[in-house]
Structure 1
Amino acid sequence: PRVREYAAYIIHAYKDRDWVWKHFSPMEEEDHTLRFCLEERDFEAGVLELEAIVNSIRRSRKIIFVVTQNLLKDPLCKRFKVHHAVQQAIEQNLDSIILIFLEEIPDYKLNHALCLRRGMFKSHCILNWPVQKERVNAFHHKLKVALGSRNSAH
């Protein structure tokens, strides 16, 4: 089996990159066993972006979708990243996708834009970013549980 050097590859809209950086970097600093694949930092120079995406997804134990209206509209995410993430999950018969909702997105919009539905995933793999700051630690705990859960078929 291939070595999975990342806890998760993070799929996010380009417009959400600052949010992703601001929230995932501190988690790595806090817990050195966590290493996320962040495109801005971890993509190899000189490798085509599409190739880098596929390679990074393969080298990650889980795939996190940061779900926002921006993600639903981002053409690269819609056409390529989501497709490869789902392919990877299907090929390995894995329960390896985690959805993090930063805002309320109805299922029909999620399905229409990305061909994903909440019902495709186990409940511990669907997380909502908390509105209250004091809930952020609880969110981090839930995310670590989801990241640590074994990838298994339903």
Structure 2
Amino acid sequence: MIPGLATYVDCYTSVNSKPQVMILFDFDQCVNDTLALLISILTSTFIIVTTSMATVAHIFYWDASYVLHYLKAKWKGYGSSASPGSVYDVFVTYDTKDPWVSEWVLEKLRVKLEDEGDKALPLCLEERDWPPGTPLIDNLTQSIRYSRKTLFVLTQAYAKTGVFRLAMYLAHQRLLDENLDVILVLMLGVLHGPPTAHG
């Protein structure tokens, strides 16, 4: 016997008409197996569904949001591409750390768009027009907002950078907010020497 254990407590159940000593009581008589199984299934299902929904929402939130806004913008139709607050005709975003791309943009593309032809198109270029000391997000936001179009000069390396993703996100936001078709993409292929434009 365990010292101090009360052995004089009796328990009455609907199964046993006679009182039974508590220490000898079978607690399985108090458990409803069907109800316990139902509660465990419902609880497990709730936890799995809630966790799955939270995971899917976390992973695909921006994709779903973008698709909904894109369809809404397509349904309403695009507005005019001429923004009254435009300072620049085109904001050119490119890989400034790649000397070949940087030289091509400044020496070829800039000359072609700004200096040649009947109508000069003012460009916004990071290396020339961004004020030093201003945070990247502010420079990108203002450049995209105050330019009629945003031109992405893409290389394989630049497409993997955070600057490209951030600029593309901001340009998409403007497209969705203002219903303006503002995004242009130019693919550059770098082989053995200066880059060549592909489209």
TM-score band (shorter)? 0.5 to 0.7
1:2 positional shift: 4.0
Are 1:17 and 2:99 counterparts?
A: no
Instruction: Tell me the matched-pair count.
Output: 107
Structure 1: how far apart are the matches of 2:89 and 2:163?
22
Counterpart residue type for residue 127 of structure 2: E
Q: CA deviation at 1:38?
A: 0.4
1:25-104 equivalences in 2 (<5 Å):
25-27=110-112, 28-31=114-117, 33-78=120-165, 80-103=166-189
Contact 2:95 2:158 in 1 (8 A): yes
CA displacement 1:2-22 (0-9 Å, x = unmatched): 421111111212323222112
What TM-score comes out, normalization by structure 2 length?
0.48
CA offset digits 1:91-138 (Å, max 9, x no partner): 11111211111239xxxxxxxxxxxxxxxxxxxxxxx925xxxxxxxx
Structure 2 counterpart of 1:23, one-letter code? K
In 2, Cα distance between the equivalents of 1:17 and 1:6?
19
- 1:129 pairs with 2:197: yes
State the distance in 1 between where 2:161 and 2:108 align: 20
Distance in 2 (alpha carbons) for counterparts of 1:33 and 1:103: 27
Task: Please say which structure displays the higher CA radius of gyration.
Answer: 2
Q: Which runs of 5+ in 2 are unaligned?
A: 1-82, 191-195
* TM-score normalised according to structure 1 size: 0.61
Q: Which has the higher contact order (CA 8 A, sep 6+)?
A: 1
CA RMSD after TM alignment: 2.3
Shift of 1:60: 0.3
SS of 1:26's partner is helix
Query: What CA distance in whole angstroms lies between the structure 1 residues aligned with 2:151 and 2:187?
Result: 10
Q: 1:57 deviation in Å?
A: 0.6
Q: Is the 8 A contact 1:24 1:36 kept in 2?
A: no
